[in-house]
Structure formats: C-alpha cells, structure tokens
C-alpha cells in the first residue's frame, strides 16, 4: 500500500469515526436529559465527519459520494450558523 493510499484511508476512517461520535454524543446527551436532544457537539462532529469524507470522496473521484457529502456539509454549516445566531441574539437581549 502506498503512502497516498494510507493517507486516504486515514482521512476516510477519521470521517467515519467523527460520524460515529455524533451519534454517540447524541445518545449520551439524550440519556442524561431523559428525552431526545441534539446537542451542538452533534453538528460539529457532523461537520468534521463531512469534511473528512468529502475530502476522501474527492481523492477517490467518487461523484456519488461527493454529492452526498457536499449537501451534508452545507446543512451542518447552516445549522451551526442558526445556533450561533440565536446565541448571539440571546446575549444581546440579556
């Protein structure tokens, strides 16, 4: 296996790990709150996983994977924008 292939696999597995962590964090947080909750960390793990997997898809030249991860990247970024915009609004009103 070449160095490039090893790097590509590392990027891909890092992305998969980050996606796993988002579900793990959501599960733990929901258990703690005793209801279904999506913490902000979920969106950060989603964004990080999406960036890694999009990079992996581009390196693999897999158009289906590229399109799928590109849309996720936009959604995760937009959700974080809304979260931070709401927090800023709340701080300004306090």
pLDDT tens digit sequence for 19-47: 899 999 999 999 999 999 999 999 999 99
User: Is the distance from CB of 15 to CB of 50 less than 8 angstroms?
Assistant: yes
Q: What is the pTM of this model?
A: 0.84
| Tens digit of each residue's pLDDT (9 = 90 or more) over 40-67 | 999 999 999 999 999 999 999 999 989 9
User: Is the distance from CB of 80 to CB of 39 less than 8 angstroms?
Assistant: no
Per-residue confidence (pLDDT) for residue 94, from 0 to 100: 79
Report helix angle 40-60 to 63-93, nearest 10.
Answer: 150
Domain boundaries, the chain: 3-93
């Amino acid at each position: 296996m070449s160095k490039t292939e090893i790097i590509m696999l590392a990027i891909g597995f890092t992305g998969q790990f980050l996606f796993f962590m988002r579900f793990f964090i959501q599960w733990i947080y929901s258990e703690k709150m005793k209801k279904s909750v999506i913490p902000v960390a979920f969106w950060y793990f989603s964004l990080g996983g999406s960036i890694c997997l999009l990079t992996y898809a581009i390196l693999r030249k897999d158009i289906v994977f590229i399109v799928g991860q590109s849309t996720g990247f936009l959604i995760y970024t937009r959700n974080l924008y809304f979260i931070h915009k709401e927090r800023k609004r709340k701080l300004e009103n306090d």
